[in-house]
Structure 1
Amino acid sequence: MAGYEPHKEDVIRRLRRIEGQVRGVQRMVAEDVYCIDVLTQVSAVSAALQSCAVTLLDGHLGSCVTEAIAEGGDAAKAKVDEATKAIARLIRA
Protein backbone atom coordinates (compact mmCIF):
# COMPACT_ATOMS: atom_id res chain seq x y z
CA MET A 1 0.00 0.00 0.00
CA ALA A 2 1.23 3.48 -0.84
CA GLY A 3 1.92 5.76 2.11
CA TYR A 4 -0.49 8.36 0.75
CA GLU A 5 -3.38 5.86 0.45
CA PRO A 6 -5.38 7.35 3.36
CA HIS A 7 -5.19 10.77 1.64
CA LYS A 8 -5.35 9.57 -1.96
CA GLU A 9 -8.57 11.38 -2.87
CA ASP A 10 -7.27 14.61 -1.33
CA VAL A 11 -4.00 14.31 -3.26
CA ILE A 12 -5.86 13.66 -6.52
CA ARG A 13 -8.18 16.62 -5.86
CA ARG A 14 -5.19 18.88 -5.18
CA LEU A 15 -3.39 17.71 -8.32
CA ARG A 16 -6.48 18.39 -10.41
CA ARG A 17 -6.64 21.89 -8.94
CA ILE A 18 -2.97 22.39 -9.80
CA GLU A 19 -3.63 21.12 -13.31
CA GLY A 20 -6.31 23.78 -13.66
CA GLN A 21 -3.90 26.42 -12.39
CA VAL A 22 -1.32 25.38 -15.00
CA ARG A 23 -3.94 25.59 -17.74
CA GLY A 24 -4.75 29.07 -16.44
CA VAL A 25 -1.10 30.08 -16.71
CA GLN A 26 -1.00 28.74 -20.27
CA ARG A 27 -4.08 30.79 -21.11
CA MET A 28 -2.49 33.89 -19.54
CA VAL A 29 0.60 33.49 -21.71
CA ALA A 30 -1.52 32.89 -24.82
CA GLU A 31 -3.45 36.09 -24.02
CA ASP A 32 -0.25 38.13 -23.43
CA VAL A 33 -1.08 38.90 -19.80
CA TYR A 34 1.41 41.14 -17.98
CA CYS A 35 4.60 39.22 -17.07
CA ILE A 36 4.43 39.85 -13.33
CA ASP A 37 0.87 38.56 -13.19
CA VAL A 38 1.94 35.36 -14.96
CA LEU A 39 4.92 34.98 -12.62
CA THR A 40 2.61 35.41 -9.62
CA GLN A 41 0.50 32.52 -10.86
CA VAL A 42 3.58 30.39 -11.59
CA SER A 43 4.64 31.00 -7.99
CA ALA A 44 1.22 29.89 -6.77
CA VAL A 45 1.45 26.69 -8.83
CA SER A 46 4.91 26.02 -7.45
CA ALA A 47 3.71 26.50 -3.87
CA ALA A 48 0.75 24.18 -4.48
CA LEU A 49 3.06 21.48 -5.88
CA GLN A 50 5.40 21.84 -2.90
CA SER A 51 2.46 21.47 -0.52
CA CYS A 52 1.31 18.36 -2.34
CA ALA A 53 4.85 16.97 -2.23
CA VAL A 54 4.99 17.50 1.53
CA THR A 55 1.72 15.58 1.91
CA LEU A 56 3.14 12.69 -0.13
CA LEU A 57 6.41 12.77 1.81
CA ASP A 58 4.56 12.77 5.11
CA GLY A 59 2.63 9.69 4.02
CA HIS A 60 5.83 7.97 2.94
CA LEU A 61 7.61 8.71 6.19
CA GLY A 62 4.61 7.77 8.31
CA SER A 63 3.97 4.51 6.52
CA CYS A 64 6.68 3.08 4.28
CA VAL A 65 9.70 4.32 6.22
CA THR A 66 8.16 3.62 9.63
CA GLU A 67 7.34 0.04 8.59
CA ALA A 68 10.85 -0.52 7.23
CA ILE A 69 12.42 0.81 10.44
CA ALA A 70 10.21 -1.50 12.51
CA GLU A 71 11.43 -4.45 10.41
CA GLY A 72 15.03 -3.27 10.75
CA GLY A 73 18.03 -4.44 8.78
CA ASP A 74 19.18 -3.27 5.39
CA ALA A 75 15.63 -2.50 4.24
CA ALA A 76 15.33 0.15 6.95
CA LYS A 77 18.58 1.83 5.96
CA ALA A 78 17.57 1.73 2.29
CA LYS A 79 14.20 3.38 3.01
CA VAL A 80 15.78 6.11 5.13
CA ASP A 81 18.38 6.76 2.41
CA GLU A 82 15.63 6.87 -0.21
CA ALA A 83 13.62 9.36 1.88
CA THR A 84 16.70 11.50 2.48
CA LYS A 85 17.32 11.71 -1.27
CA ALA A 86 13.69 12.60 -1.91
CA ILE A 87 13.88 15.38 0.68
CA ALA A 88 17.10 16.66 -0.93
CA ARG A 89 15.36 16.79 -4.33
CA LEU A 90 12.46 18.74 -2.83
CA ILE A 91 14.80 21.22 -1.18
CA ARG A 92 16.61 21.84 -4.47
CA ALA A 93 13.38 22.35 -6.40
Structure 2
Amino acid sequence: MSTEHEARKQALIKRLRRVEGQIRGIQGMMERDADCEATVQQLTAARRALDKVFYETLACALQQELDGSSSDDANTQLKLDKISTLLTKYG
Protein backbone atom coordinates (compact mmCIF):
# COMPACT_ATOMS: atom_id res chain seq x y z
CA MET A 1 0.00 0.00 0.00
CA SER A 2 1.15 3.48 -0.77
CA THR A 3 2.03 6.01 1.87
CA GLU A 4 -0.74 8.24 0.53
CA HIS A 5 -3.30 5.44 0.93
CA GLU A 6 -2.12 4.76 4.48
CA ALA A 7 -2.35 8.47 5.36
CA ARG A 8 -5.91 8.64 4.01
CA LYS A 9 -6.87 5.52 5.91
CA GLN A 10 -5.49 6.92 9.17
CA ALA A 11 -7.32 10.22 8.60
CA LEU A 12 -10.60 8.35 8.09
CA ILE A 13 -10.06 6.27 11.21
CA LYS A 14 -9.35 9.45 13.18
CA ARG A 15 -12.54 11.03 11.83
CA LEU A 16 -14.55 7.93 12.78
CA ARG A 17 -13.18 8.12 16.31
CA ARG A 18 -14.33 11.74 16.50
CA VAL A 19 -17.79 10.72 15.27
CA GLU A 20 -17.82 7.99 17.90
CA GLY A 21 -17.10 10.62 20.56
CA GLN A 22 -19.83 12.87 19.16
CA ILE A 23 -22.33 10.00 19.34
CA ARG A 24 -21.41 9.29 22.95
CA GLY A 25 -21.89 12.98 23.70
CA ILE A 26 -25.31 12.91 22.04
CA GLN A 27 -26.28 9.87 24.10
CA GLY A 28 -25.31 11.82 27.20
CA MET A 29 -27.36 14.79 26.06
CA MET A 30 -30.40 12.57 25.65
CA GLU A 31 -29.85 10.92 29.02
CA ARG A 32 -29.72 14.40 30.62
CA ASP A 33 -32.83 15.52 28.72
CA ALA A 34 -30.85 18.28 27.02
CA ASP A 35 -32.57 20.81 24.80
CA CYS A 36 -33.85 19.05 21.67
CA GLU A 37 -32.57 21.73 19.30
CA ALA A 38 -29.05 21.45 20.73
CA THR A 39 -29.27 17.68 20.37
CA VAL A 40 -30.41 18.01 16.75
CA GLN A 41 -27.46 20.32 16.05
CA GLN A 42 -25.07 17.70 17.39
CA LEU A 43 -26.80 14.93 15.43
CA THR A 44 -26.44 17.01 12.28
CA ALA A 45 -22.74 17.55 12.91
CA ALA A 46 -22.19 13.83 13.52
CA ARG A 47 -24.15 12.89 10.42
CA ARG A 48 -22.16 15.30 8.26
CA ALA A 49 -18.89 13.97 9.62
CA LEU A 50 -20.01 10.41 8.93
CA ASP A 51 -21.17 11.40 5.44
CA LYS A 52 -17.69 12.78 4.76
CA VAL A 53 -16.13 9.45 5.75
CA PHE A 54 -18.67 7.67 3.57
CA TYR A 55 -17.95 9.75 0.48
CA GLU A 56 -14.19 9.55 0.93
CA THR A 57 -14.48 5.76 1.26
CA LEU A 58 -16.72 5.61 -1.80
CA ALA A 59 -14.12 7.63 -3.72
CA CYS A 60 -11.51 5.09 -2.63
CA ALA A 61 -13.69 2.26 -3.97
CA LEU A 62 -14.06 4.08 -7.27
CA GLN A 63 -10.32 4.67 -7.48
CA GLN A 64 -9.65 0.99 -6.83
CA GLU A 65 -12.00 0.08 -9.65
CA LEU A 66 -10.28 2.43 -12.08
CA ASP A 67 -6.66 1.75 -11.09
CA GLY A 68 -4.83 0.05 -13.89
CA SER A 69 -7.60 0.63 -16.44
CA SER A 70 -7.01 2.16 -19.81
CA SER A 71 -9.67 3.67 -22.01
CA ASP A 72 -9.52 0.69 -24.38
CA ASP A 73 -9.49 -1.92 -21.63
CA ALA A 74 -12.19 -4.55 -22.22
CA ASN A 75 -13.05 -4.45 -18.52
CA THR A 76 -13.50 -0.68 -18.44
CA GLN A 77 -17.23 -0.90 -19.18
CA LEU A 78 -17.71 -3.48 -16.43
CA LYS A 79 -15.84 -1.23 -14.02
CA LEU A 80 -17.92 1.78 -15.03
CA ASP A 81 -21.06 -0.30 -14.52
CA LYS A 82 -19.88 -1.20 -11.03
CA ILE A 83 -19.20 2.48 -10.28
CA SER A 84 -22.67 3.37 -11.51
CA THR A 85 -24.16 0.69 -9.28
CA LEU A 86 -22.21 1.98 -6.26
CA LEU A 87 -23.38 5.53 -6.86
CA THR A 88 -26.98 4.44 -7.34
CA LYS A 89 -26.95 2.24 -4.27
CA TYR A 90 -25.07 4.50 -1.87
CA GLY A 91 -24.90 8.00 -3.37
Question: Do they fold alike, i.e. is TM over 0.5?
Answer: yes
Q: Unaligned regions of 5+ residues in structure 2, if any?
A: none
Q: After the TM superposition, list the runs of 4 or more consecutive aligned residues in structure 1 that deviate by more than 6 angstroms.
A: none
- Give the number of aligned pairs: 87
Q: TM-score, normalised by structure 1?
A: 0.75
Shift of 1:58: 2.0
For 2:10 and 2:69, the matched residues in 1 are separated by 27
- Equivalent in the alignment of 2:9: 8
Counterparts of residues 70-89 of structure 1 (less than 5 Å): 70=70, 72-74=73-75, 76-89=76-89
- Amino acid aligned to 2:14: R
- Alpha-carbon distance in 1 for matches of 2:79, 2:20: 30
Give the partner amino acid of 2:86: A
The structure with higher relative contact order (CA 8 Å, sep 6+) is 1
Say whether 1:36 aligns with 2:3: no
Bigger proportion of residues as helix: 1
1:68, CA displacement in angstroms?
A: 6.0
